[in-house]
Each structure stands twice: as C-alpha cells, then as structure tokens.
Amino acid sequence: MSSRSMLLAATLMLLPCLLHGCADDPREGWSTNSIYSTKYKTVAINVFENETYSREIGYMLTQAIISTIESQTPYKVTSAMNADTLLTGEVTSVELTSLSQNEATGLDEEVIVGLTISFNWTDLETDRTIIDRTGFTGGGLFVPTSQSRETLELGEIGVVQQLADDLVDEMQSVW
C-alpha cells in the first residue's frame, strides 16, 4: 500500500471523529464556544450589603467576585452607567460552627465560617432578572489552635473565595 493510499485511509477513518467531536452549543457536549452568554459584555457590581457582625465581609466578597469575573469570564466589570448588567447582593448571615474541641481544654480546634448570601443579576437594558438566588451558602475552615494560630480572617477569606467562584459559576449555568 502506498503512502498516499495510507494517508487517504487514515483521513477517511478520522473524518467521522472530526465531524462529531465538538458541538456548537456547550449544553450539547464538548464545544469551543464560550460557556458564558455573548449577549452581555459588561457587569456593574454594587458592594454587597451586610448587616452582620462581620463588618468587612461584604467588601471582601465584592472584591473577590470582581476578581473572579475579570479573570474567569469574558465580562468586564465597569460602572452602572456603562454596564449591560448589574449584580447586587446581600450577606444575610455569618455563622461559626465548631467541628471539634480539645478534650483537655474545651477550646475549639476546627471551626467553619458559614456565609449565606442572596444575589440578583439584572439585564439593565430590559430590566429583566437573569439570576436571582437566595440562601446561597458556603463555608471556610480555619484551625485556631495554639499550634497553627489561624485566625478567623483565614476562614473568612476561604469562604469568600468559594462563594465568589460559585456565584460566577452560576452566571454561566443559566444558558
């Protein structure tokens, strides 16, 4: 068999794989298209409201969301005057849950910072809600023992980043 015949046979064998390999729509299988809507280009983000005892958590969450949107989506964060969409939200609760305690001292060894938020993503042109979630939760672990000396802020940073990632994932799941 000549090299030309072998090349033709290999091409004919691979052709069905190439034709069925990728889908135009990411919901239908593997695709090279974006998982985010191309209808929107920009997002304005208001600082998340916060009435909990953890005063900085709303600002921390907002900053984490902005960073995550800028680094993982095709959207650009801008002012409300220039944006296609608006993301607003509220921190509804911050809770500390002890997972384990030292038997000798009774002090917490592992603690989870639980954060619950609500958020709304709105199309500013049509004033239509794109996503509206309440009771959206996440948790961040920290170990406040004398050996590790981790602080509450470490748990807050963990939960804030997890919720920012999860919220941005929600922005692509509606398509």
The per-residue pLDDT for range 56-76, each reduced to its tens digit, is: 999 999 999 999 999 999 999
Do 116 and 89 sit in the same domain of this protein?
yes
Q: How confident is the model at residue 44 (pLDDT cuts 50, 70, 90)?
A: very high
* 80 and 16 within one domain: no
pLDDT tens-place string over residues 143-170: 887 777 888 888 889 999 999 999 999 9
Give the burial class of 138: count Cβ atoms within 10 A of its Cβ; 0-12 exposed, 13-18 middle, 19 or more buried. buried
State both tokens at 170: 């929600």
12 and 98: one domain? no
C-alpha angle 122/117/51, rounded to 5°? 105
Residue-level pLDDT at 150: 81
Q: Which two tokens stand for residue 171?
A: 């922005």
Count of structural domains, the chain: 2
Residue 94 pLDDT greater than 80, yes or no:
yes
| Residue 2 pLDDT | 66
In this structure, what are the phi and psi dihedrals at residue 58, rounded to the nearest 5 degrees?
A: -65, -45
Shared domain check, 8 and 79: no
Characterise 153 by phi-psi region: left (phi > 0), alpha (psi -120 to 50), beta (else): alpha
pLDDT band per the 50, 70, 90 thresholds, residue 138: very high
In this structure, the answer to whether residues 106 and 158 fall within a common structural domain is yes
Share of the chain above pLDDT 90, in %: 51
CA dist., res. 87 & res. 101, Å (int): 39
Joined tokens for residue 100: 């384990």
